[in-house]
Structure 1
Amino acid sequence: AVNDYTHSTAPNRRFPDLITQRLLKAALVGTPGPYSSDELNDLAGHCTDQEDNASKVERQVRKSAAALLLESHVGERFDAIVTGASAKGTWVRIDHPAAEGRVVKGFKGFDVGDHVIVDLLSTDVERGFVDFAGVRRS
């Protein structure tokens, strides 16, 4: 079994899996590891960077999918919960359909955890934007 190569189905996991399997194989057969400490540090940094890049793409796809799903619901009203409030903006999450967006109007006085009513103002599928107007606390 030590000589067999197996991997998970996620392409972004194949390289780290291969590194791990090479290290395990060397340990099991009692030979020196195939990588120096510096090489392992470089490989770990590369794997982390690639995972971060994949996460960014996945997040953008989720945001764009939510914008596409909500595109036909512009003008509708939703129950929401405030998930973020800072100088950069106020963010809410709606449940049906599940999506998050920015409150671009009427957000004063909204705090994280508040249950609010929002109107869907617009979506931008390409950029993954979902914009709401705060109506009131619920």
Structure 2
Amino acid sequence: MIALIQRVRRAQVDIEEQTVAQIGAGMLVLVCAEHDDTPEQADRLLDKLLAMRIFQDEHGKMNLNVQQTGGQLLLVSQFTLAADTRKGNRPGFSRAAAPAISQPLFDELVRRAQTRLPGTQAGVFGADMQVSLINDGPVTIPLHLPPKSAEN
């Protein structure tokens, strides 16, 4: 799975000028499933998101995680994170999983995140969304979690 994490002061997702999700301070996470991704990787991604110490402590050091700060998560599916830009000027998206694979993974990630961090919000899978945010810092962190077999 691929994720792009942004520490935000606030973020929201609109569809056809209607707000469908919004959070205050926390993390906006753009998420892309790849072909061989599994529910276990979604679990690992969620563990990483909840443990990631990217929020400032009382000394101004990035030493706290989203749960310690009372922050929220906004999860947005975004297949374009799998873009292959090595050739030409038009990105290829062949690394992104098909919707039949990626939608259940994304939905399960959202469900588990809402269980572990109440108040978690999500965009609408496959929708034409407008995402707005106030990036805090700015702090933006790319994260790629390949299947466990690919890590060895």
- Quickly name the TM-score band, shorter chain normalised: under 0.3
Structure with higher strand content: 2
What TM-score do you get using the length of structure 1 for normalisation? 0.26
For the pair shown, which has the larger CA radius of gyration, 1 or 2?
Answer: 1
Structure with higher helix content: 1
What TM-score do you get using the length of structure 2 for normalisation? 0.24
